[in-house]
Amino acid sequence: MKDARTEREIGSIEAEASMDQWETFIDFATDHISRWVDDKSRNYKLRLAFEELVSNIIRAAGSDRQANSTSVVLEISALERIDNNTSWFVLRTSDNGAHFDPQFESRAPVDTAQHVNERAIGGLGLFLIMQSVDRVNYQWKGGRNVYELSTQLAADSSQPEQGSTG
Amino acid sequence: MALTIDVVKGDVHVTLVLNGDVDTKTAPDLLGHLTSLELHALEQLRLDLIEVDFVSSAGLRAIVFAKQKMPHSSRLYLIGPSSEIVETITKTGLAQAVVIVESEAEI
């Protein structure tokens, strides 16, 4: 039997993937996260994962801009998904930048036991993304990088309030 | 949210009092303040995080930068971080490099 899955979009925005739009992206996400994810720790972790992800996308877009003189557009959607009677809040990003597969499944973990003086500066962002949400997915779809950050909702957390779907 | 940073210099320590979020956009401000200190000669650096709600990996990298520049015998105190920030610091293995206290009076 197939898994029962439904989803609906709560809201979405689209803007150039640049630091000029940082607040636009962050405000959209934090507004939706605060309305949908009640648990303080989960709320913080989802925001953390989202910021790390968008930061990476914007950095990559900057490289694209330098190399090809093209603008990268980033679309962000907030979704409610019901998957086998389990409710999820999902932040999906979709961008038309260069193909970049972070290989979440096979990525070597950061050596957290390594002394700080020997630490390389990179790699923390992707590590925090993987550690901070219940599910993280990447797909190269229709010429776009598509990421999903999913946090499981408590049983009574869906549809937080009337008129909050924008 | 914007980040404001006040610098308080003591005899053997410097305290940076942070207010706001330390994220991709604001972490360069923190890094700028850290870079302007003589970290290589500093015995104690205190980051007051009581009024900080959020620290991303960019903020953590600034903390790592400071600790790497400071003498081996130095101490880097984080004052009053939230439980979520402490969890992030612990998860990334950076707790070994800092001393976490609830208030400056504990130092």
Tens-level pLDDT at each residue, chain B (107 residues): 789 999 999 988 999 999 999 999 999 999 999 999 999 999 999 999 999 999 999 999 999 999 999 999 999 999 999 999 999 999 998 998 999 999 999 99
- Mean of the per-residue pLDDT values for chain A? 87
pLDDT digits (tens, 9 = 90+) for A36-47: 999 999 999 999
Q: Are B26 and B20 contacting, i.e. CB atoms less than 8 angstroms apart?
A: yes
Strands B13-22 and B44-55: parallel
Position A165 scores a pLDDT of 39
Position A112 scores a pLDDT of 73
Residue pointed to by tokens 């990179």: A122
Q: Is A142 helix (H, G, I), strand (E, B) or coil?
A: coil
Give the CATH number for residue B88.
3.30.750.24
Mutation target to probe the B interface, by most B beta carbons within 10 A, among A40, A48, A53 is A48
Question: Which positions in chain A touch B25 (Cβ < 8 Å)?
Answer: 19, 22-23
Position A166 scores a pLDDT of 35
pLDDT tier, A18 (very low <50, low <70, confident <90, very high otherwise):
very high
Start-to-end C-alpha separation, chain A: 34
**How many domains, chain B?**
1
Q: What is the mean pLDDT of residues A11-16?
A: 97
Distances from the Cα of A149 to the Cαs of A86, A94, A99, A105, in angstroms?
15, 12, 18, 14
Cβ B58–A55 below 8 Å, yes or no?
Answer: yes
pLDDT digits (tens, 9 = 90+) for A56-75: 999 999 887 777 778 899 99
Size of interface A-B (CB pairs under 8 A): 65
Position A162 scores a pLDDT of 46
Cβ B56–A114 below 8 Å, yes or no?
Answer: no
Position A11 scores a pLDDT of 97
Position A20 scores a pLDDT of 96
Cβ A117–B83 below 8 Å, yes or no?
Answer: no
Which residues constitute the domain of residue B39? 4-106
Q: Are B92 and A127 contacting, i.e. CB atoms less than 8 angstroms apart?
A: yes
The angle formed by the CA atoms of residues B68, B72 and B76, to the nearest 5 degrees, is 65
Q: Are B2 and B33 contacting, i.e. CB atoms less than 8 angstroms apart?
A: no
pLDDT digits (tens, 9 = 90+) for A73-110: 999 999 999 998 899 999 999 999 999 888 887 777 77
DSSP states along B57-99: HHHHHHHHHHHHHS-TT-EEEEES--HHHHHHHHHTTGGGGSE
Cβ B68–A47 below 8 Å, yes or no?
Answer: no
Length reported for chain A? 166
Q: Residue A115: CB partners within 8 Å, gap ≥ 6? A: B96, B97
Reported as type and span, the H/E element at residue A32 is helix A22-36
